[in-house]
A and B are shown apart, each in its own frame.
Chain A
């Protein structure tokens, strides 16, 4: 009876996707601020997320992820802080510089939806508005009365407000206009849609999009849907029912690059679906309503910090004066260093007021508000023996760290000291130390910085004499022993959990034990679906970026969330895998500007972009005096020191021996050289900021040690990263071994070496699929423990499963997937845990609709990289599995039907030798 009934089946049936980007629903819940810094929240927004966790590239001495949170040790602020400030005026300035601070802030506001009856009593008006500033776009469509399926249709022309743009044939985008009215003092942006009461529109569906950030806003993770029920009803029912307008969730979709506080208390319809149930009972008529829901938007904000360094003539100390225009309470997390190594240490007291010792590795000082009220300041007096002042800033109430381009701020403080000052200092210093002796002892007796380590032996056996001294020593010793115990406990827990061969349980435990210390783990949300956006021929046209741009929305509507673009640099080979000048991004795929446009376009449709970066080797531009090509050109004009010394073809390399396998076509880069790593990190950083790449596909990572990869990923903080670790599987007498544990172990070893910061292509799974499908040996798809036999069976969250890529397939065909059986491969990887990657050639082939259907099954059942899998059959001619108890699948010609138990299975997709069921 009720109109809502007819829309209900939409929840499951449709395979066609609507251009609705879906992202990361897992970050929807607003989480309370983490208790310790070791687990700063993942930043939910991409490109503009400039929150940085200070770990890794941050203050290295902070002790993140240590074996236990050290208590903050309060230190009495010494009175000399005030004197220091006075003295500041008279000193000479040694250093002055303003650093930009880039950060993000979350602005809170609300979205409201209002339905009013028009003045004439005939037509209705739907108003959608937002109280946050932004370039808001309403992306909307309608459902007709007799529609089946969840597809949208374009509204009739008369409904479209001015400025509307049609998107494909199913949606409209209408910009919101700044309204003359305001709401609680906030500006309001809104759009009005008139609805004729006699039209046969069942519902209006929409999502709100912020063009500035590319974010999409939904209603509790789904499309907004405003049912217009009266239009469905019989004449007899037009008048009568009086209520029943609800906002209720749309059918599919899990978009979420958003912080929708859907659970917030002021939302009226606590449970939309209940209301929906209720609405089925009665016959109702259209009634005006007004609902609102809070939204949060991430805004990028620029501030700055000014540093000046002076010498106080009175105390001969170096005074570092710091001021910033950050709006809220700021904590300076700081330390000093003695040389260029920038090794953090804690200076001796006195400290400025409001200073705490943080885990004995750094000091934390709360800055003072400026009198004018437009910022904060602090000053730090340092002894002259220190050469540098290191710090990062933290907003007190939030877990937001601000650093200098991914590095700690480093302020040189010791450049030009005159000897007279030093002499002056000597006379003063005894006095000072006398005064501060107590504090000093207090600090040192419990301190255990790394630096102490070197002195322990002396402490333990050399010093001792006076009895008082001995007690102190013992105290210090106790604290050291405590630290040792913590470390031992940490080592114990890891050793205990890691068995000689790798097992999934071990990883889970390990992961649980150690919360990832980084904001950016490079492994995304777990819901990623990758699209390899090119093949071996893509360079031929010379305008690939433009061609792909046209396909961006289509890829989004198919459900992809990440696209992998071809290597962008100047290259000796047209495909880009022989990079030469890393900073020249004009390639056979297009120009740097076209690339930027393409990335922007993908971001608009909420697809993140992986850059294909070749770090293993680099082609030289010039020959050296011996005629060997090993002198590089371009902005990174390295010489033979950057080439590994054992590279047999470019053997004049003066670098260290390679840490991995050699790639024989080009000089292998020596990643053990600091300058090489520094340059590459800068380059990756540049790619991130200049092009807007969200992550990396790392070429030929077999060539160098995974630990370096970790280094690069820590520095470039990708949203997602995947490495190509490709080596051959084990065969015995030409037959592939059933047990490919050694093969996947090598891949796991590499992932381990990167500290889990990157995933890896699951070459093992591809190889086993080959054998299983080609020879009809589906039993191979279960390992001895009944788990998937590839990397995905051991470490699903780091496995990027794939069927084909530009090397294995395309026109190269080095290791082509069994022909005609590709869909079985996709039925496997797109229903299984791991992060699936779909090859371009298959997307744009007759497989497209089937692949699209599989993706939508994956999305609507929220299958992710860590989903649970139960293999229910692995026999000669059929393999079947149930994933998350929600999806059942089989591949192979053999018979299989999932057992209906508590849940009922209904088939949703069937193709050649594969079939997929969902619970109903």
Chain B
């Protein structure tokens, strides 16, 4: 059942708003699926206006009907809900709103374009910078207020990682702890640490002043929830839980990758911090192979190397297919799944009672997908090979927590990739997508980088139309390039195509004629429930 609300005056709309809340609760209890698809608002004067052919403009609509989020929206004719990412440093390391004027102008432009909302990364390192439990949300509150005022929706990404790119590190106090206790960070074979997020091996080890990272994340979420309670469920309609490097569910297997090489190498396993090694040892002992648990694979290639440069990932007779390979890879990948499970259950218990949808991001590790061993996915923690589907288990776990999955790389096409890389973003996307479909996990799209190349828009459009379209899309990311003359027009075109395909084909006119009648019939009434 879809219900739409049609108000006849400002005052009524406000009342309706309240009514919506109550109704939303009631219907939720009843278990029925209700959605406030759209609100059409017209006023007493509208008869004259309708005659004149334009029925809007001078009247204000100040509120939008709220949209209870727990309830999944059927795909409307509007199609995908589009969110544009705000700059990574929208709130500076010092907790002030950066380029506020530009953002204000940008928000307005997006609203005018008809974009659903924006995505805002909230950094652990900014909010809880100085000491554990000392949160400063002021910069973000100011920004949320700005978004709220413009009338856009907001998707919040809780970033429990740092970003070299945005020059935002982890909280100062965490870094200090890391200096004393380096094993809280992922470490590779050579001892190189990845300091942009905590190792998943310490998730439940009280390494942070007596608290476990999961507890600290939980406190952070609770503080977020209470600080933004007035926005959650209204302006804030979605929350992404950061699961690892760059917020993605993976190991930082490419941390040592040099930028110079054209074809990215296979990456390396990140299982060499003390806690990981301890877990590995334990795993070896419990499975009866204590010797296997003494270290990671000795024959894995280096970061930049190709799969065949050492024996582990070799297509023919590589160690990955051996019992040892299975022993190691299933352990390595299961830790990642368990880590995601912990954080998502944390998120669903923290935000489950609020009207927001929970999302998390799974990376699209498409390099070397066309090989049998899928080495890049293996080092990143996805035990996905020619012989084995590594994404089913993840989709299943997402489904358990009613978490939606964000898949980046929707702008990538196979043709756009280098031949030597043997990569296939489209096939991988298809694989993950079908796993999600199987388990009823909604998929949201995201583009892979800050700069979508020309073919990319076509690719995005492809993923956003058709039967299996993503239900929302996160377009990354607002900034100078985004608004630049070489980019912004293409983006505008993308949005317009998404919003109103009918405007471009005259064939659809007849359908519009048909659609006209109900609109005219309902515009005069006070509040109507319309079952569709």
Contact = CB atoms under 8 A, between A and B. Distances in A.
B58 A447 contact: yes
Contacts of A440: 48-49, 52, 58
Interface string A856-887: 00000000000000000000000000000000
B488 A488 contact: yes
Interface string A432-454: 11100110110111011111111
A514 B38 CA distance: 38
A67 B499 contact: no
Interface stretch (B194-202, B356-364, B476-484): B476-484
| Size category of the binding interface on chain B | 35 or more
B138 A660 contact: yes
B112 A456 contact: yes
Given A454-B64, A456-B114, A460-B499, A465 B512 contact: yes
B63 to A, nearest CB: 9
A69 to B, nearest CB: 16
A463 B55 contact: yes
B433 interface: no
A745 B167 CA distance: 14
Contacts of A755: 100-101
Interface residues of A, number: 82
A356 to B, nearest CB: 16
Contacts of B479: 495
Nearest to B14: A339
A441 B53 contact: yes
B105 A490 contact: yes
B54 interface: yes
A395 B447 CA distance: 53
Given A441-B52, A494-B101, A749-B94, A460 B515 contact: no
Contact of A460 (B10, B57, B114): B114
B476 to A, nearest CB: 15
Interface string B326-353: 0000000000000000000000000000
B401 interface: no
Interface in B91-129: 92-103, 105-106, 108-109, 111-114
A476 interface: yes
A448 B516 CA distance: 24
B78 A705 contact: no
Nearest to B513: A465
B206 interface: no
Given A496-B480, A659-B142, A753-B100, A385 B499 contact: no
A492 B488 CA distance: 10
A341 to B, nearest CB: 7
A491 B482 CA distance: 9
B113 A461 contact: no
A429 B49 CA distance: 12
B58 A462 contact: no
B58 A443 contact: yes
B362 to A, nearest CB: 29
B151 interface: yes
A158 to B, nearest CB: 65
Interface stretch (A31-39, A121-129, A478-486): A478-486
Interface string A459-472: 11111111011001
A156 to B, nearest CB: 62
B438 interface: no
B480 A444 contact: no
B331 to A, nearest CB: 40
Nearest to A475: B54
Given A453-B151, A469-B53, A659-B141, A484 B58 contact: no
B48 A430 contact: yes
Contact of B483 (A443, A464, A491, A746): A491
A449 B58 CA distance: 8
A194 interface: no
Residue among B93, B103, B108, B479 facing the most chain A CB atoms (10 A cut-off): B108
Given A461-B499, A749-B96, A434 B53 contact: no
Contacts of B51: 433-434, 437
A570 B275 CA distance: 60
Nearest to B139: A705
Interface stretch (A344-352, A549-557, A597-605): A344-352
Given A491-B105, A749-B96, A383 B151 contact: no
A659 B138 contact: yes
A430 B59 contact: no
A752 B91 CA distance: 12
A67 B57 contact: no
A706 interface: yes
A626 B115 CA distance: 49
A343 B492 CA distance: 29
B322 interface: no
B53 A453 contact: no
Contact of A339 (B10, B78, B500): B10
Interface in A629-656: none
Nearest to B51: A437
Nearest to A473: B54
Given A462-B40, A500-B167, A745-B94, A452 B480 contact: no
B59 A451 contact: yes
Contact of A457 (B92, B102, B480, B499): B499
Nearest to A487: B109
B109 A491 contact: yes
A476 B57 contact: yes
A462 B499 CA distance: 10
Residue among A438, A487, A501 facing the most chain B CB atoms (10 A cut-off): A487
B170 to A, nearest CB: 16
A742 to B, nearest CB: 7
Contact of B78 (A457, A463, A466, A752): A457
Contacts of A433: 45, 47-49, 51-52
Given A462-B519, A498-B102, A658 B138 contact: yes
Given A449-B57, A461-B502, A491 B106 contact: yes
B77 interface: yes
A455 B77 CA distance: 16
A458 interface: yes
Contacts of B499: 457, 460-461
B112 A487 contact: yes
Nearest to A444: B57
A135 interface: no
Interface in A497-536: 498, 500-501, 514
A262 interface: no
B54 A444 contact: yes
A500 B55 CA distance: 44
B416 interface: no
Contacts of A706: 96
Contacts of A445: 54, 57
Interface in B1-52: 9-11, 38, 40-41, 43-45, 47-49, 51-52
A543 interface: no
Residue among B38, B45, B89 facing the most chain A CB atoms (10 A cut-off): B45
Contacts of B105: 67, 487-488, 490-491, 494
Given A345-B60, A749-B92, A752-B96, A453 B142 contact: no
Residue among B95, B103, B227 facing the most chain A CB atoms (10 A cut-off): B95
18 contacts: A385-B45, A430-B48, A438-B52, A449-B57, A451-B60, A454-B61, A454-B64, A454-B151, A455-B41, A455-B61, A458-B38, A484-B113, A487-B105, A488-B488, A489-B483, A705-B139, A752-B96, A753-B97
Given A441-B54, A462-B40, A659-B138, 4 more contacts: A385-B43, A473-B54, A707-B97, A707-B142
Give 10 nearest A-B pairs by CB, closest first: A433-B48, A749-B96, A494-B102, A492-B483, A444-B57, A487-B109, A465-B516, A495-B480, A659-B138, A454-B61
Interface of B: 9-11, 38, 40-41, 43-45, 47-49, 51-62, 64, 77-78, 87, 89, 92-103, 105-106, 108-109, 111-114, 136-139, 141-142, 150-151, 166-167, 227, 478-480, 482-485, 488, 492, 496, 499-500, 502-503, 512-513, 515-516, 519
